[in-house]
């Protein structure tokens, strides 16, 4: 039956594939019934949640909203990326916040449901307040956050066309501000592929959050160590310069 499903999208194989899928579902239902009948009451109560999960997987349709994509991680959901190379992504939505000038990650949090970007701001601001003991005056976001101009005392800035009467200085200022916002994209790439955020091996919702926070902490630590190394290198160069200057004087 699995082999018949291999070329299910082929016009001549569609009917055969549909029949094979029906048979596979009937096999699975039969197997669940056999398992339940062979187990005692205590075992049935112990594995009741598992059987509910199996039933949900067998009964779900293509158009359903809260589908199960993984048996060992039922909280995983599908996110539409809208990109040509990667249309969908399966996992957990995360939100990252950087400082404008230094580029340090001040917030890294995950969300239990695939909510709109606009509704992720409050939770992100809570974490910024927790890590820095203060809230930012302005959030520079992309167009996915459009819909609100203010959350509490924090302004939300998104790219939009300026008025025709805007001066060249005003245009340049806005351009530089949103160019700085775009710098978060390579940071997200580094978090995914250099700091193990692309694939999570920790279980559950708490595991998702821990993986996100640890990846952000690793990024910040690496940044701090690089800065420390550069400052020590500068100090070492100064010491060596003085040493060579003194030896040159001594030689004369």
Place of tokens 């009451």: 41
Share of the chain above pLDDT 90, in %: 33
Structure tokens at 169: 């200085």
| Integer Cα distance of 223 and 99 in angstroms | 13
The 10s digit of each residue's pLDDT in 183-216 is 888 999 999 988 989 888 898 899 999 999 999 9
- Mean residue pLDDT of the chain comes to 87
**Residue 211, CA distances (Å) to 14, 22, 85, 198, 205 in order:** 41, 39, 25, 10, 10
Of the candidates 76, 80, 79, 35, which has an alpha carbon nearest to the alpha carbon of residue 57?
A: 76
Partners of 177 in the beta sheet?
Answer: none
pLDDT value of position 217: 92
Ranges of the chain with pLDDT below 50: 249-252
pLDDT value of position 177: 86
Place of tokens 């690089």: 226
pLDDT value of position 252: 39
Structure tokens at 173: 């200022």
DSSP for residue 201 = -
Instruction: Tell me if residue 107 falls in helix, strand or coil.
Output: strand
């Amino acid at each position: 039956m699995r082999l018949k499903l291999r070329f299910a999208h082929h016009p001549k194989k569609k009917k055969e594939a549909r029949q094979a899928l029906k048979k596979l579902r009937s096999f699975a239902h039969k197997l669940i019934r056999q398992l339940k009948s062979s187990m005692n009451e205590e075992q049935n109560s112990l594995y009741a949640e598992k059987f509910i999960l199996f039933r949900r997987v067998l009964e779900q349709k293509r158009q359903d909203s809260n589908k199960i994509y993984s048996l060992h991680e039922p909280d995983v959901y599908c996110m539409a990326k809208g990109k040509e190379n990667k249309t969908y992504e399966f996992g957990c939505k995360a939100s990252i916040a950087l400082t404008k000038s230094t580029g340090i990650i001040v917030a890294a949090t995950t969300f239990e449901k695939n909510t709109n970007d606009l509704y992720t701001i409050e939770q992100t601001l809570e974490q910024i307040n927790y890590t820095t003991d203060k809230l930012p005056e302005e959030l520079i976001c992309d167009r996915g956050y459009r819909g609100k101009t203010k959350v509490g005392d924090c302004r939300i800035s998104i790219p939009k066309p300026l008025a025709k009467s805007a001066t060249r200085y005003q245009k340049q200022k806005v351009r530089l501000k949103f160019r700085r916002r775009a710098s978060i994209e390579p940071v997200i790439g580094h978090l995914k592929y250099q700091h193990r955020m692309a694939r999570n091996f920790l279980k559950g919702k708490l595991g998702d959050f821990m993986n996100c926070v640890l990846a952000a902490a690793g990024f910040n630590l690496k940044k701090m160590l690089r800065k420390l190394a550069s400052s020590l290198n500068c100090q070492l160069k100064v010491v060596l310069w003085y040493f060579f200057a003194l030896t040159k004087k001594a030689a004369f």
